[in-house]
A and B are shown apart, each in its own frame.
Chain A
């Protein structure tokens, strides 16, 4: 049935992946919103969200996300006069849906092999690979355009038009800059490109192809409509751009769609340029062979860090600091951390795990690679946020002339240089 899928996985595993991988990506969204708030706060010399709590637990402001959800779900749904209702409702769903389905080709770890059983950590290993991602992402323009048009508001229309022209212009650079990667690795499949980069960080495309990396990075900023290219939302000129008329959950879908776009862009950046799931200096085989050693090291480090974390939290306990439940947050979090730490250290320093069944080492390797990949993705997400709160915004004509007269010639030069290097 799928001649291009050499793995032929059981149906249940395919279904599980189709459900789990979007869930993983969706769960990164609140983390990213929290990061945005905290990073922006510390860049601007503030403390950020620190009030919302459940029984005193604030998790450094993470609980504010729950408050947000309640607020957005219960707010009034507003339809502006003269709005086209069908497209008005369709647009936010379209944006969100498209970014979620692009996660289908992101490989989270190497192919898992246990005896006869094989399983890949990506929903679909398409041979068109990155092209699928580009073609789906190019459809996201419609959501933005329709939102702008159907709101029957001149600001949102201008925002929608700006967004779409910007996305089309920078898509060209995006495509051209990574053609060099395809040429080097001889494939457009993300998994093949990651395999080609190997576990040595010196061979990662970020080091090998610095110009392509910079061009692609800039283009992703424009594609995701993030600062310094967030002209579609330019508050000073367009109020809030294409989603100015949106309220309640429809606004939340745009909001989440923006972060989903950042996560997808970061995953693609991590996969294409930062070795994807490759653990630095450790190949999949090395991880499997030394699984026992690494597991014990990780267990010991986890135990010690958890004890230290618990102690640091508990030392900060001052009764009467806030005069409410928040006083006890450090104890609520600190005591379990200390207990888990003591238990883990006791177990790993006295006994440790030395007998492993056959299936354990490959699963261990895959989970380490998964954590590595997520770490790289969050690193890029942090970079997106860092840039947003550091750089000022471009002017619209500057953005366009930079895209067409700067980025596209640069990517063509890069293509030419790499081809010349490959030929001679």
Chain B
């Protein structure tokens, strides 16, 4: 049963990820990205990482993508306007980045197997409690540094977006 769910959700995320690339309509592409993120969250859930799954939906699908849609709807980009935006060497840069990422992912995760089906992880695994203990214990400093990074990004965004006060 879990295997069936795994194939369903991974198929869903891969399919919708392809749609993100191939849809001409920006809004449809964004919606397909939401479905991708949701599918990945379901995969997290199948891997017993419940907290991560909830956060993935809450932050990415529920908040970040809403802002994407916001911008798309307000600018209401048509097809012609989109075709105008073309950078030189965009294709070449894209291919190089993609191949590098693929090599990295394949070499890194080749031998790993997911804790599906049989592995006994204990009751605590993936719960809010255990994730919290890791974040505020072992990984406290990276966690705090990340939050400072995000804070800097927020302040930067506000400064850029603010109207100059004369």
Q: Which A positions have Cβ atoms within 8 angstroms of B?
A: 1, 3-4, 6, 87, 126-128, 131-132, 134-136, 138-139, 141-142, 145-146, 148-149, 157, 160-161, 164-165, 168, 171, 188
B119-137 near A? 1/0 per residue, CB < 8 Å:
0111101011100000000
**Distance of A31 from chain B, by nearest CB (Å):** 30
Which residue in chain A gives the minimum CB-CB distance to B69? A145
Which residue in chain B gives the minimum CB-CB distance to A150? B27
Q: In the complex the two chains form, is A126's CB within 8 Å of B50's CB?
A: yes
Q: In the complex the two chains form, is A138's CB within 8 Å of B128's CB?
A: no
Q: Can you list 21 A-B pairs, Cβ within 8 angstroms, ordered by A?
A: A3-B48, A3-B123, A127-B50, A127-B127, A128-B50, A131-B58, A134-B58, A134-B62, A135-B61, A135-B62, A136-B57, A138-B57, A138-B66, A139-B62, A141-B62, A142-B66, A145-B66, A145-B69, A149-B27, A160-B73, A164-B69
Which residue in chain B gives the minimum CB-CB distance to A149? B73
In the bound complex, residues from chain A placing their C-beta under 8 Å from that of B73 are: 145, 148-149, 157, 160-161
**Distance of A259 from chain B, by nearest CB (Å):** 22
In the bound complex, residues from chain B placing their C-beta under 8 Å from that of A132 are: 54
Cα A134 to Cα B53 in complex, Å, equals: 12
In the bound complex, residues from chain A placing their C-beta under 8 Å from that of B31 are: 87, 142, 146
In the bound complex, residues from chain A placing their C-beta under 8 Å from that of B66 are: 138, 141-142, 145, 164, 168
Q: In the complex the two chains form, is B74's CB within 8 Å of A161's CB?
A: yes
Which residue in chain B gives the minimum CB-CB distance to A148? B73
Cα A21 to Cα B22 in complex, Å, equals: 40
Q: Which B positions have Cβ atoms within 8 angstroms of A?
A: 1-2, 27, 31, 34, 38, 48, 50-51, 53-55, 57-58, 61-63, 66-67, 69-70, 73-74, 120-123, 125, 127-129
In the bound complex, residues from chain A placing their C-beta under 8 Å from that of B125 are: 3
In the bound complex, residues from chain B placing their C-beta under 8 Å from that of A145 are: 66, 69-70, 73
Q: In the complex the two chains form, is A131's CB within 8 Å of B128's CB?
A: yes
Q: In the complex the two chains form, is A138's CB within 8 Å of B58's CB?
A: yes
In the bound complex, residues from chain B placing their C-beta under 8 Å from that of A139 are: 38, 57, 61-62
In the bound complex, residues from chain B placing their C-beta under 8 Å from that of A188 are: 128
**Distance of B31 from chain A, by nearest CB (Å):** 8
In the bound complex, residues from chain A placing their C-beta under 8 Å from that of B53 are: 128
Q: In the complex the two chains form, is B63's CB within 8 Å of A131's CB?
A: no
Cα A205 to Cα B51 in complex, Å, equals: 24
Given A3-B121, A3-B123, A139-B61, A131:B74 Cβ within 8 A: no
In the bound complex, residues from chain A placing their C-beta under 8 Å from that of B129 are: 127
Cα A66 to Cα B69 in complex, Å, equals: 38
In the bound complex, residues from chain B placing their C-beta under 8 Å from that of A4 are: 48, 50, 123, 127
Cα A161 to Cα B76 in complex, Å, equals: 13
